[in-house]
Structure 1
Amino acid sequence: MLHTSAESAAERVYAEVKERILTNEIAGGELISEGEIASKCSVSRTPVREAFLRLETEGWMRLYPKRGALVVPIGDREKRDVVDARRLLEGHAVRSVTSRPAAVAELAERLRDNLAAHRRADATDVAEFSRLDAAFHQLIAAAGDNPLLADFYTTLGERHRRMTIASVHRDAGVAARILADHLDLLGAIEAADADRFDHLLAGHLAGVHDLPGEPA
């Protein structure tokens, strides 16, 4: 029973700290301590240590004995890798969808529902905004009718969310750009124009995530 309780505490700390990293509440480059997190989560240091080890294994932080844990910042290489993967997967999905008129109509309807929810969302709720942004793109990836690729795309979701939140914090105008770009992407899908979708997606991702050397 005690073992199960300890596991539950470590899992809770892991989830809470990871969410704070994803939502930029704990910013990249920040050094945090076991004691600080133990106090905030009302637990002993043992589950915090276990959670930190797991987060280090997943690449979210680096541990420094007697100093604390450094939250790994989002680097240009990571941004490029995530964006490259998203362009490949979403572009492939749209090319598959455009050959099936019924699938185009179904995807367009779901994307319109997402955009409506996006417009209704509280503009100051960055976490919800980023969730809806990720959902928009996940709908596109899932429509490609390839479960393996859709599942792989889902694994990018956490990095996608973190990058979007960081971009919105960096520039308040990014949120409006995302909504405008999503409407354009929807238009390309409705027109069954996969080449235009690829072009728009490249500009959208480069602009939102401020990729060096890429056209915004």
Structure 2
Amino acid sequence: MRPARISQARLAGLAYLAVVLTGMFALAYVPSALGLGVDNGANSLLIAGRPGFYRLGLLGLLANQVAFVLLPLLLWRLLARHGATLAALMVAFALTGVPVVLSALGFRLDALALLPDHAAAALALDAARNRMLIGMTFWGLWLLPLGVLVWRSGVAPRWLAGLLMLGCFGYLLQVAYDMLALDMPGPLNSVVRLPAMLGEIGFCLWLLLFGGRVRI
């Protein structure tokens, strides 16, 4: 494999690492540390108690979305020759979700501005949650063409490509449950999240460590 392509793969891996780390911080660590749950009335009280830390999470989400603009474009350069239409769909799905998530970020900022009116802040957090749900749809959809391209290209093992494709359907299942106001059983919730998490982290690390070279 040409060194230029290996370098391109590692650059995409760095962008993916930025997406993974900022996402873990903003979407997992900060909500967990604040104790945020499903009740946005209670959440408004919690963010009022630690507004600075909450703002750090919002900054992390902003950085996450900036990195997520760069990532599909870098992957397109790496993978487009293995399927131009699939690569275009990958980029389109990924980028469509960005303004939706940024809109959710705006509502999360509004919630802070509305404090100490906790009822109004809770409504802003509700609006943010709804937009994040729509954004999650595109977080899932872009993984399907990405997984097919990884499968075709051989830049990573096919088991990683399979996890990426399964991750798409895991995200969509979560969205469907939430849209229909259904409670997903705890064990099922853990299972449907697993393929995307393993696939994305695994693919990111493979690009960084091996530069797109498959090693069995």
User: Normalising by structure 1, what TM-score?
Assistant: 0.33
Q: Which has the higher helix share?
A: 2
User: Normalising by structure 2, what TM-score?
Assistant: 0.33
Bigger RCO (CA 8 Å, 6+ sep): 2
Q: Which has the higher strand share?
A: 1
